[in-house]
Homo-oligomer: A and B are copies of this chain.
Amino acid sequence: MFEKREGERALAEDPAISPADGQVVFIGRIRSAWKKREDCPKNMRAARERGEQATIEIALPYRPGIDGLTRASHVIVLTWFHHAPRNLIVQKPRHATEAKGVFAIRSPVRPNPIGLHIARLLAVDEETGVLTLDAMDALDGTPVIDIKPYIPTVDVFADASFGKD
């Protein structure tokens, strides 16, 4: 499922089986149109182009946590890529010309398999714990570990650049 490519480097100690420094709990699940990895858009821009909304189902104990979220137009969703390997510290993304450090790319394969997705929040149902998003680039069933409001004054950097070094 995740083959090793030229120039890639593995960690001597796999974080998946290392002693834990901290523990996460799943607070909900993504519900998306993407059931297989090959169908899943590779980033949020591609997801938006596919025109499919998605939802997050918040687990019952955590539902009071979405109270007041409607004041945010966009949310930052943190997911847990529970099927991804964690031991590749240098990777060569498909179609990339050369291998790069994991912290320089947005691959799901990383020491802590946390995905970050920023989406427009279309609806909040506090009763059923369902958030409706404009798009999502994660497989149906992907665990969610955090949701944060996207705050323009601290999260927007209109002058940011990301080159092809």
Binding site for B on A (CB under 8 A): 9, 11-13, 15, 18, 20-27, 43-45, 61-62, 64-76, 78, 80, 82, 89-90, 100-106, 110-114, 116, 118, 120, 143, 145-165
Given the complex, which residues of B lie within 8 Å of A67, measured CB to CB?
90, 100-101, 104
Q: Which residues from B are CB-within-8-Å of A164?
A: 71
Are A13 and B78 touching (Cβ within 8 A)? no
The 7 closest A-B pairs by CB, nearest first: A71-B165, A20-B23, A67-B101, A68-B100, A68-B104, A103-B147, A65-B101
Using CB atoms, name the residue of chain B closest to A86.
Answer: B25
Bound form: Cα–Cα A152–B118 in Å: 12
> Is the pair A89, B64 in contact by a Cβ cutoff of 8 Å?
yes
List the B side residues contacting A157 at CB < 8 Å.
Answer: 73-74, 118, 120, 150, 152, 156
Contact B89 A62 (CB under 8 A): yes
- Most chain B CB within 10 A, of A71, A80, A102, is at A102
